Amino acid sequence: MVFRDSIIASIKMIAKNKMQSFLTMLGIVIGIMAVIIVMSLGASAQEFILGQIKSYGSNLIAILPGSSDDSGAPASAFGIITTSLKNKDIEDIINLHNPHIEGVSMYVKGSDVLSRNDKSLGVTFYGTTANYPEIENSELEKGRFFDSGEVDSNLAVVVLGSKVADELFGDDNPLGQKIKIKKSNFTIIGVLKSKGGNFIQDQDSQIFVPLKTAQNILLGINYIDFSRLRVDKTENIDIVREEIVGILRDNHNIDSGEKDDFSVRSVAQALEVISSVTDMLKFFLVAVSAISLIVGGFGIMNIMLAIIQERIKEIGLRKALGATSMDIVWQFLLETITITFISGVIGILLGILISFIAAQIIVALGYSWTFVISYDGILLGSMVSIFIGIIFGILPAFRASKLDPIEALRYE
């Protein structure tokens, strides 16, 4: 009975003092809303990132220069130049003729500004091998990709991403045209079909040249940046990975017990690492946004203390009519919990609405973004709002319960 009456009294108080109630609830509303937005957008971002990796196929293995532990990324992933991976390393893997390996590609990369007539465009160029389309699931829109003979011969040919072709040539046919990369003329032999950009590699905005041409003519290097292998079945990934590690350790003269100077990762391993990193980042952001909840809690406590001053006569009258100190404690504690719970519900609804609007904007920008409602966030928001009501409502409730009924009735 006391519980129901206190909730009804709380709702009536909120309705009667709209502006005061709004200011009381604002901090909690903003805090819960921030938690919901961070968790919803965080879950959507995680889904987006993992989806981009999965699009490459679960049977892909990446070989990168630089050592790392099983739960971390190699140094090369942070932009640190590591030259420990050579063409011969990958050629030795190819020469194994392992029946489980469907294809192997090698990559180096650089950047330059291309120009044609009055148009200029900054691009990333990749030097790669002839089987790039098979490894990356890419298709040609026009022309052809370079072959292994052109790779070995250092020929100056180039394949354009669809966006590069559109921006430089528009409706003109780029095949047979020449562009200059690092002051060297290259003949365009193909244009890739649009694949859509992602955070890993935006093929549409890049150009591709034969691997040895990039190494010898454009970059002047004798190493590769990374390699990718496609395995026939996911269950054979561990077998292939162990064989690759053995070859690379032999090639690099790494003794037993010494740390590798390379990293061999499967897509499944990459998914685990990225999932753990994004989870940590997501909950860190939630912790930061939750600071506003603490500020809102102190705001509620201060306003409830002020409300007690306004309701001293009411408290005195209740005590005179037989209400115990615990009745008064429960009355004001439940009022605070009711206010914070309503604030939490409003914050949750606003958080979901803003997350939905943000998702629609991101989709409109051309990204494959999924709107994800974080039910963990909703549960967390509800529990936190009640918890704040209890913690920050205790002091005002006990302050009210200690008022002397006779003095309270005399209060003006």
The label of the residue with tokens 């309270």 reads: 408
Same domain, 48 and 87: no
Q: Is 330 helix (H, G, I), strand (E, B) or coil?
A: helix
* Residue 151 shares a structural domain with residue 13: no
Structural domain for 349, as ranges: 2-52+278-410
Are the beta carbons of 27 and 295 closer than 8 angstroms? yes
Q: Are residues 374 and 324 part of one domain?
A: yes
Are 130 and 245 in the same domain? yes
For residue 118, being part of any structural domain is answered with yes
pLDDT of amino acid 22: 74
Is 69 domain-assigned? no
Strand locations in 13-59, DSSP E? none
- Residue 59 placed within a domain: no
Flag whether 32 is in a domain.
yes
pLDDT tens, 92-128?
Answer: 999 888 888 888 999 999 999 987 777 888 999 999 9
Last residue of a domain, one of 219, 234, 260: 260
Is 265 a domain residue?
Answer: no
Please indicate, yes or no, whether residues 138 and 212 belong to a single structural domain of this protein: yes
Highest-confidence segment of 46-60, 330-344, 393-407? 330-344
- Closest among 248, 265, 225, 267 to 107, alpha carbons compared: 225
- Tell me how many domains the chain contains: 2
Together in a domain, 292 and 210: no
264 vs 233: CA distance, rounded Å: 17
Whats the size of the chain, residue-wise? Answer: 412
**pTM > 0.85:** no
Residues 6 or more apart whose CB falls under 8 angstroms from that of 370 comprise 44, 47, 48, 51, 359
Please indicate, yes or no, if residue 230 is contained in any of the structural domains.
Answer: yes
Residues 13 and 129 in one domain: no
3-state secondary structure of 328: helix
Burial of 107 (0-12, 13-18, 19+ CB in 10 A): buried
Beta bridge partners of 104: 229
Tell me, what DSSP letter sits at residue 78?
Answer: G
Residue 215: is its pLDDT beyond 90?
A: yes
Compute the chain's Rg from CA coordinates. 32
Per the domain annotation, does 380 fall within a domain?
A: yes
Measured between its terminal Cα atoms, the distance across the chain in Å is 30
Task: Report helix, strand or coil for 150.
Answer: helix
Asked if residue 390 and residue 354 are part of one domain, the reply reads yes
pLDDT in tens, 143-188: 999 999 999 998 999 999 999 999 999 888 999 999 999 888 999 9
Q: What is the pLDDT of residues 7-31, one digit of tens each?
A: 676 667 666 666 766 777 777 788 8
Same domain membership, residue 235 and residue 99: yes
Q: Which of 272, 278, 252 is nearest to 67 (CA)?
A: 252
Domain boundary among 201, 233, 260: 260
SS3 content of the chain, % helix, strand, coil (to 5): 60, 15, 25
d(CA 58, CA 275): 15
CB 178 within 8 A of CB 133: no
CA 366 to chain centre: 17
Of 260, 286, 313, which residue is a domain's last?
260
Q: Are residues 214 and 313 in the same domain?
A: no
Each residue's pLDDT tens digit, 327-376? 777 777 777 777 788 888 888 899 899 989 988 888 887 777 788 877 77
Q: Are residues 47 and 96 in the same domain?
A: no
300 occurs within a structural domain? yes
> Are 118 and 37 part of one and the same domain?
no
